[in-house]
Structure 1
Amino acid sequence: MTQEQLAEKINVSTSLIAKFETSRLIPKSDTARHLDTVFDSGDMFQESAAEARASSRDSVWFTPWLEYEQHATMVRSFQPTLVPGLLQTEEYARAILRDAGTRVPDLDETVASRIARAGVLHRDEQPCRLFAVVDESVLRRPVGGPKIMSEQLHAIVQACALPNVSVTVVPASAGAYPGLNGPLAVATVDGRNVAFLDDPLDGRVVEDPDRVTALDEVWESVREYALPGRPSLELIMEAAESWS
């Protein structure tokens, strides 16, 4: 069976079939179920996909969220602790994966995959619009040391020069506010919204419309606590200089 024939049978693109075959992407649960049906393989694909997801859940590249993110026309994210993945530099990402005790099969490959995600912001046709909100502590946390932090924050300033990228900061003076329970992201794909929640035990895609709407409202609430664009950029630049 060719890739094209299989793609038609399970209603996905041939590029996704290629990614499944080379282990660059783990099939979502319903896709794995369709594969088991096509190949009459019992639960083999479903069990293999579940095991792969469990062993690599710390690598966002291998979660179902990736498929949505790569096809999104807009992503709205909030990060209370770390720089959003779409904006991370190579050395910052490496420091997170290395120093936070994240278990990955191949550190270099995982870092490269994470950095490649930013390609959605630079697409020739309809680049993804990113509206990121971060807590001020993200700018102050010494991930990897002063040099890495300085380079990372300057990279954010550069990214903000793109017409489709906006980063705003919730200042420390805001105190407690909605969203401090953890990071979240909402992506617009084919005219509908899906969300992603991450926590120490699991990362999960949220597709239920009511729950996505609720998370969208949380993101909007968080954004209200953030400084406007220019003051946020000035705060990021000040923090970058403080690491130099």
Structure 2
Amino acid sequence: MHRPLSPTVRRRRLATELRRLRESCELKLSTAAKQANVPASTLSNIETAEARRIKPRDIDALADLYQAPADAREALHELARESKEQGWWSKYKDVFGGNALPDFEVEASMIRTYEAQVIPGLLQTPAYSEAVFRGGRAYTESEVQRHVDARLQRQQILSRHDPPQIWAVIDEAALRRKIDNPGVMHEQLQHLLNIATRHNVDIQVLPFTAGMHAGLSGSFLILDFPAELDPSIVYTETATDSLFVQDAPSVQRFVTIFANLNSAALRAPHTVKFIRHIMESDDQHDDD
């Protein structure tokens, strides 16, 4: 399975390129818009990656103004065309809302995730995922299934020929959280052990013995991309909303937090032993 295109990533790259071309001509946005006969609001939306429908004639007008070479002009048109495409996640707007995490995951080269309460979504089994959504008692039966289906679709990136590097730090609380069916949790923990053997997956447990740590403010994901033109972003969510953090200083703060969590967490071999110990302990309790 080849890596699909992300329209949002394409819009971000187009925005960066057009802004770079404008600044290389030492033009203010209002001046460039006037000289290219493109509405200032349109150019602003393009440069902030908010424009979802970009007219070819606007691209040509801006390329003419900036005296962009033919290959650069064609690249701009290609980015504009690709920014209009829709991924599978567009069918799950009821699940992801306006901000679709898979829109970025499909092009990420590395995904670093810290989870404090549950197993990371990309590493969940279907039964465990269902238990998570049922546990909140916020969804109907059909909504639970929609959320589970969407989560399993997200996991398809792990089956590509060029899967992203997954680096997960999981709090011990997520591993010890009880659910109604102990067998489901046992299967989930075994799945973690199995998937940890993959060359592109690194899993670390952050034990209770680590004490107070840098991730106490909550779970988050850092997504890195293969092209330098696509800066890293951070994704966090609450019970009612999701947030993408894109400004460089804030992203760097999350990178620092993750580095601290990595240092506090168990190394891979000790993580495997730790998970096995939890499984064995749970099995003993089930026998009692």
**TM-score normalised over the length of structure 1:** 0.76
- C-alpha distance 144-122 of structure 1, shift in aligned 2 (>3 A): farther
Q: Give the match for residue 24 of structure 1.
A: 91
The equivalent position to 1:116 in structure 2, one of 153, 156, 159, is: 153
The equivalent position to 1:182 in structure 2, one of 218, 225, 240, is: 218
Q: Check the 8 A contact 1:130/1:165 in 2, yes or no.
A: yes
Instruction: Name the CA distance, whole Å, in 2 between partners of 1:195 and 1:154.
Output: 29
Query: Are 1:71 and 2:107 an aligned pair?
Result: yes
Deviations 1:10-36 (A, max 9, x none): 92538833648xx4255xxxxxxxxxx
The equivalent position to 2:136 in structure 1, one of 95, 100, 104, is: 100
Task: Give secondary structure in 2 for the equivalent of 1:168.
Answer: strand
Query: Are 1:228 and 2:267 an aligned pair?
Result: yes
Q: Give the match for residue 89 of structure 1.
A: 125
Q: Give the match for residue 145 of structure 1.
A: 181
The residue identity in structure 1 corresponding to 2:251 is V
The residue identity in structure 2 corresponding to 1:132 is A
The equivalent position to 1:159 in structure 2, one of 195, 206, 214, is: 195
Which segment is superposed worse, 10-19 or 205-214?
10-19
Instruction: Name the CA distance, whole Å, in 2 between partners of 1:231 and 1:7.
Output: 50
Q: Give the match for residue 238 of structure 1.
A: 277
Instruction: Name the CA distance, whole Å, in 2 between partners of 1:241 and 1:63.
Output: 40
Instruction: Name the CA distance, whole Å, in 2 between partners of 1:227 and 1:149.
Output: 21
The residue identity in structure 2 corresponding to 1:89 is T
Instruction: Name the CA distance, whole Å, in 1 between partners of 2:129 and 2:210.
Output: 27
Q: Give the match for residue 13 of structure 1.
A: 82
Task: Give secondary structure in 2 for the equivalent of 1:177.
Answer: coil
The gaps in structure 2 that reach 5 residues or longer are: 1-51, 56-78, 284-288
CA drift at 1:62: 6.7
Deviations 1:141-186 (A, max 9, x none): 0134311110000001110010000110111111111112110110
Task: Give secondary structure in 2 for the equivalent of 1:200.
Answer: coil
- C-alpha distance 196-150 of structure 1, shift in aligned 2 (>3 A): same
Q: Bigger radius of gyration, 1 or 2? A: 2
Task: Give secondary structure in 2 for the equivalent of 1:154.
Answer: helix
Supply the RMSD in Å over aligned alpha carbons: 2.4
Number of aligned residue pairs: 205
The equivalent position to 1:214 in structure 2, one of 237, 250, 253, is: 253
